[in-house]
Structure 1
Amino acid sequence: MGDARAGLRGQSLLIGTAKWIGTLAPTVAFGWLGNSPLILGLGGLCSVFDLAYIALLWRARRPLMPAV
């Protein structure tokens, strides 16, 4: 494996949020409104990972609090 990325270069909350919305829109349109359990399930699973990515980005951009 090789190069580990040091920092958040090339990643942002805007990109993560846009990806989540881009996953959510077809999930609702084809999964929920189109009554497709497969699309709904896969879209829900992808949304979980998208939200985890957003949470990790949010956590990584906060400064660490010093121990008291």
Structure 2
Amino acid sequence: MKGTANPSRAAEALPYRIELWHSKSGDIVERVLARAFTAQLARAIFQAAKDEHPQRRITLRKGNLVLSDSSK
């Protein structure tokens, strides 16, 4: 019987991530809202996150590169 894949590790391998930043301390990521495999999906999630949290900073990253930032 084969072992089960670790879903957390698999999610971390996805190249794009959408981050919600802490509301009081603008330099700390509160949590990663989602990860995505494609840029198109990542941008759709980023837009939905902006709509869901209009007063919060949301970023879309690929690795260390910030592709979109709702605060700018």
Same fold (TM over 0.5): no
Which structure has the bigger radius of gyration? Answer: 1
Instruction: Please report the TM-score for the alignment, with normalisation by the length of structure 2.
Output: 0.33
Q: Which has the higher helix share?
A: 1
Instruction: Please report the TM-score for the alignment, with normalisation by the length of structure 1.
Output: 0.35
Larger relative contact order, structure 1 or 2 (CA cutoff 8 Å, min sep 6): 1
Q: Which has the higher strand share?
A: 2
